[in-house]
Structure 1
Amino acid sequence: MDTASFEALYTAQQTRALDRCAIDEHGLPGITLMSRAANAAFDSLLNTWADPECVQVLCGTGNNGGDGFLIADLAHKRGIRTRVLQVGDADKIGGDALLARNQALANGVEILDFEPGAVMSAGVLVDALLGTGLGGDVRGAYAEAIDEINAADVAVLAVDIPSGLCSDTGRVLGRAVRAELTVTFIGLKRGLFTLEAGDHTGELQFADLGVPAQVYRQVPCDSYRLELEPLLELQPPRPASAHKGLYGTVLVVGGDYGMAGAAALAAEAALRCGAGLVKVATRPEHVAALVARAPEVMARGVESGEDLQPLLESADVLVVGPGLGQSPWSEYLFQVAMKSGKPLVLDADGLNLLAAGKAAPRPGMIITPHPGEAARLLSCSNADIQCDRFAACRALQHKTGAVAVLKGNGTLVADAQQLLLGDYGNPGMASGGMGDVLSGVIGSLLAQGAGPLEAAALGVCLHGAAADLAAGEGMRGLLASDLMPWLRELLG
């Protein structure tokens, strides 16, 4: 997939490589970049809080603290009551950060050593404690300072990244600052868009600090932030001569006893996203309910693999797993579907049966696990998956050979070459059936001619964007079926 329309996402190591390249190969002194960062952050501060009562800057001993000293200097020059609280041993400050500290001192900025209780509940707090180099849990005075920032109940601006948030994974390292605004520099850090980041970054703004475009071409990147509009533009318009045979047949295999709704949601989503025909292979007892819900769905009761075979032959794409269960009936249908050779989306109990070794992975699959299902596939814990979702998604792709979609806050999509992140969606999606809708969306796009990676990427964005629109009426009580009209509207 051409990623030219998407924003690159960087690890901490890659961001440092961007810094080094800008400084060493393009003649941008480190103190110049630090000054530009401070100006960008201070401009954002004033644009957000036009007339702050005071500005308190909490500075660490690294370059993040250097940015903070220069922000304090700018605020002081503007006539705003300003003070710096120094966290950590000031004797350890060196390089550009020391130059910045000395400049602030020379211009009359008040710099005090941080002590418990020193943070005032007034004005705007600037978090310049810890940057992207944090390698373990926050401890000592830094932990105390973060706790005081979070308890102060005032506006907080985080410099580059909220202190305590892992820039590579979005994981909170013990504790992390909760900011209303984060201004990040040079490269977008991938951890700002997934896992726990949304509870800590607030509004996110980016400043490239005037780094030449050549720098970004010199530092390789394999992770990108998806955008819906460029993906929608890849979808061809329908000709006046269009007919249902042009847009594929999707077969949903699932709906064991008590779980017919999952298959119904996947089927309806596939229809709403434009598939020509949608069929469902399910328990005979569920056929009437499925047809009553969506008469456009061609529901068939199946008792065995033999019953399933003609449906498989007529399908272009399979969606296997929504409400499938893990009974002998489920297992047999799963195995027959996996042997069919048809392109397929594997979800829910289809993934659990795969993890249990009931069939081997095969080419042409798209898998859509949530963290628990991913943990079963990788024989690890849910916590292991969430510790580094990027590594987990890559491991899923490598183990199965499939296009892997790791669901969650900041859903990830990976093939053998690329790792893509979709940050559409909201907490209202924490309800049953959302994954079934996603599998139907992806299956529909696949049936209409999209490649596996494109179908997964667009499906993830459509699903989250539809949920964002549906949440306009409130997040609590948001249902998976509420997404259906919005999916249709987004696709146009």
Structure 2
Amino acid sequence: MQYLVTSSEMKHFDTQTSQTIGLPSLVLMERAALAVVEQLKKGQFNLHKVAVVCGYGNNGGDGIAIARLLKLQHINVIIYLVGDPNLASPETRQQINIAQHYNITTITQSPKTLVNYTTIVDALFGIGLNRNITGDLLQIIKLINQSNADILAVDIPSGICADTGKILGAAVKAKQTVTFAYQKIGFTLYPGHEFAGEIIIADIGIYADKKPEHYTYNHHDLARLLPDRQNYSNKGSFGKVLVIAGSQNMCGAAYLSAKAAYKVGAGLVRIYTPECNRDVLLSQLPEVLLTPYIPNQIDSDQLKQLINWASVIVIGPGMGISTDTHKILSCVLASANIPIIIDADALNTLANDIDLLKQAHTTIIITPHLGEMARLTLQSIDTIKNNLVATAKAFAEKNQVICVLKDAKTIVATPQKPTYINQSGNNGMATGGTGDVLTGIIAGLIAQHLPATQAAPVSVYLHGLIGDAVAKKLGKHSMLASDIIDGISDILNNQTLS
């Protein structure tokens, strides 16, 4: 597990370290500068002629210290100090005074061009930036990006909102970013992620007196996160998934969700779908149990029996928006005491009647993409894109559900728990049916007794990890949802063998 922090959390940790623990800010600044210089010296940057572009905040103080350390190693370096000197932090004022004693060339006028430098260190703005950049500062960022130099950003590329990843007018596009103590949320999300380049996390001694409220997984975590499989077992030991999916002549989503649940290890999977889908589904997935229903003739007693049979329920993929969908969803929410995963057209039905959620008395997981989330929250897609984490968290808390908000960086928000921000996956997965596969994976892991609060983020990470492996094998242009299902075995087998 890797923690991710907001700007306010990072500021708190900085203050805690310097004021409560007693490690001076200047010491932290020196350690930050040493970490950046170490990275610059590893050979990926041409240090023939270096410009360090600094603001007057503490990020600029880091930059001035970096320039001094480079000068001491006989590297040709110049400081561009831009902004309002009246706003200089005490630490940055002290770094300016120190730099003067070392005779480092410092220019306090905005540069006209930066094309003559081989490397530029961006220390213009830190994580505290919360307004759009304008005027001369906007022009400087444009000059940095137009320079053709290797660019290293200090802590965060200038112009990225540390909390949302939003571009605040303009942003430096870095080759590498050396960030301190923790990765910031702003460059785990798009569009900020595209500006950070390779991210190096440097431990400079900052003390955290509490756990951050956001996290992600990496490949070292997966093996310990997957459910155990006991040797003394049978198909009932690994749970029963009820997939309520499909509509007339629309059975693909039901197939994808059901097969994905089987492939991650569920013991039994049953599909509840219109009668017309029966033959196709049984021919494509003979392992599945199937209970058909006649449209407009929903048997509530039969449906309740299926609910009582199951360990976890998926509802929505490919169902369409209809009276049947509303009736089935209402029955499931009112009757089930097992986890329910609401996806696709069940979400769209819910958007038209959000009070249906009040019937539920069990764990609910919703898996909306941006369009579905817009309908659920009555917000624009752009608003949600600019506030992914906050939107997911607010909906989860308000409605007491686990919210899996699907995007290029999927968010899993759980009431009163840390929020997961996914870093696996790729754009080859932006194709029809991959969401149905994810829903099936979540259900399959819950069926194997993984708590829903853990199954949701683990499934999102696993889903993306499989997508990354498939992309390497087939290329991103050629990926299908069924390829992700086929790739499940390889990933799970590697975890079992490791």
TM, length-normalised to structure 1: 0.93
CA displacement 1:92-146 (0-9 Å, x = unmatched): 3241112212222322222224536321154111111111111111111221111
Alignment match, 1:95: 90
Query: Which amino acid in structure 1 is aligned with residue 162 of structure 2?
Result: S
C-alpha separation between the residues in 2 aligned to 1:479 and 1:464?
13
Query: Which amino acid in structure 2 is aligned with residue 334 of structure 1?
Result: L
SS of match in other structure, 2:440: helix
Q: How does 1:142-291 map to 2 (within 5 A)?
A: 142-211=137-206, 215-216=207-208, 218-219=209-210, 221-227=212-218, 229-257=220-248, 259-291=250-282
SS of match in other structure, 1:165: coil
Alignment match, 2:407: 408
C-alpha separation between the residues in 2 aligned to 1:30 and 1:197?
27
Report the Cα offset of residue 187 of structure 1.
Answer: 3.2
Instruction: Name the CA shift for 1:48/1:270 in 2 (closer, same or farther; >3 Å).
Output: farther
C-alpha separation between the residues in 2 aligned to 1:285 and 1:121?
70
Alignment match, 1:443: 443
CA displacement 1:57-78 (0-9 Å, x = unmatched): 1111111111111111222222
SS of match in other structure, 1:251: strand
Q: How does 1:18-417 map to 2 (within 5 A)?
A: 18-49=13-44, 51-115=46-110, 117-120=112-115, 122-211=117-206, 215-216=207-208, 218-219=209-210, 221-227=212-218, 229-257=220-248, 259-303=250-294, 304-306=297-299, 308-341=303-336, 342-357=338-353, 359-361=356-358, 362=360, 363-417=362-416
Equivalent pair of 2:250/2:277 in contact (CA under 8 Å): no
CA displacement 1:234-256 (0-9 Å, x = unmatched): 44543333211111111111112
Query: Which amino acid in structure 1 is aligned with residue 241 of structure 2?
Result: V
Query: Which amino acid in structure 2 is aligned with residue 27 of structure 1?
Result: G
Report the Cα offset of residue 264 of structure 1.
Answer: 1.4
Equivalent pair of 1:169/1:387 in contact (CA under 8 Å): yes
Q: Between 325-334 and 435-444, report the one with greater CA deviation.
A: 325-334
Q: Between 350-359 and 287-296, report the one with greater CA deviation.
A: 287-296
C-alpha separation between the residues in 2 aligned to 1:430 and 1:104?
50
Gaps of 5+ in 2: 494-498
C-alpha separation between the residues in 1 aligned to 2:305 and 2:239?
16
Instruction: Name the CA shift for 1:305/1:207 in 2 (closer, same or farther; >3 Å).
Output: same
Instruction: Name the CA shift for 1:142/1:257 in 2 (closer, same or farther; >3 Å).
Output: farther
C-alpha separation between the residues in 2 aligned to 1:219 and 1:20?
13
SS of match in other structure, 2:160: coil
SS of match in other structure, 2:335: coil
SS of match in other structure, 1:339: helix
Q: Between 10-19 and 155-164, report the one with greater CA deviation.
A: 10-19
Report the Cα offset of residue 231 of structure 1.
Answer: 4.9
**Matched residue count:** 483
Q: Between 397-406 and 266-275, report the one with greater CA deviation.
A: 397-406
Query: Which amino acid in structure 2 is aligned with residue 480 of structure 1?
Result: A
Query: Which amino acid in structure 2 is aligned with residue 470 of structure 1?
Result: V
Report the Cα offset of residue 219 of structure 1.
Answer: 4.0
Report the Cα offset of residue 186 of structure 1.
Answer: 2.8
C-alpha separation between the residues in 2 aligned to 1:239 and 1:186?
39
CA displacement 1:35-86 (0-9 Å, x = unmatched): 1101101111221525432212111111111111111122222222212222
SS of match in other structure, 1:200: helix
C-alpha separation between the residues in 2 aligned to 1:138 and 1:219?
32
Q: Between 44-53 and 178-187, report the one with greater CA deviation.
A: 44-53
Report the Cα offset of residue 229 of structure 1.
Answer: 4.1
Q: Between 41-50 and 54-63, report the one with greater CA deviation.
A: 41-50
Report the Cα offset of residue 158 of structure 1.
Answer: 0.7
SS of match in other structure, 1:416: coil
Query: Which amino acid in structure 1 is aligned with residue 44 of structure 2?
Result: W
C-alpha separation between the residues in 1 aligned to 2:447 and 2:231?
20
Equivalent pair of 2:176/2:196 in contact (CA under 8 Å): yes
Instruction: Name the CA shift for 1:87/1:428 in 2 (closer, same or farther; >3 Å).
Output: farther
SS of match in other structure, 2:233: coil
Query: Which amino acid in structure 1 is aligned with residue 452 of structure 2?
Result: P
CA displacement 1:309-345 (0-9 Å, x = unmatched): 4433322211111111102232233223223314211
Report the Cα offset of residue 308 of structure 1.
Answer: 3.9
Query: Which amino acid in structure 1 is aligned with residue 391 of structure 2?
Result: A
Q: Between 223-232 and 34-43, report the one with greater CA deviation.
A: 223-232
Instruction: Name the CA shift for 1:288/1:52 in 2 (closer, same or farther; >3 Å).
Output: farther
Equivalent pair of 2:227/2:450 in contact (CA under 8 Å): no
Instruction: Name the CA shift for 1:475/1:172 in 2 (closer, same or farther; >3 Å).
Output: same
Alignment match, 1:3: none
Equivalent pair of 1:194/1:411 in contact (CA under 8 Å): no
* Aligned-CA RMSD value: 2.0
C-alpha separation between the residues in 2 aligned to 1:247 and 1:357?
34
Report the Cα offset of residue 30 of structure 1.
Answer: 1.2
Equivalent pair of 2:445/2:455 in contact (CA under 8 Å): yes
Query: Which amino acid in structure 1 is aligned with residue 287 of structure 2?
Result: E
TM, length-normalised to structure 2: 0.91
Equivalent pair of 2:227/2:449 in contact (CA under 8 Å): no
Equivalent pair of 2:366/2:403 in contact (CA under 8 Å): yes
Instruction: Name the CA shift for 1:353/1:38 in 2 (closer, same or farther; >3 Å).
Output: same
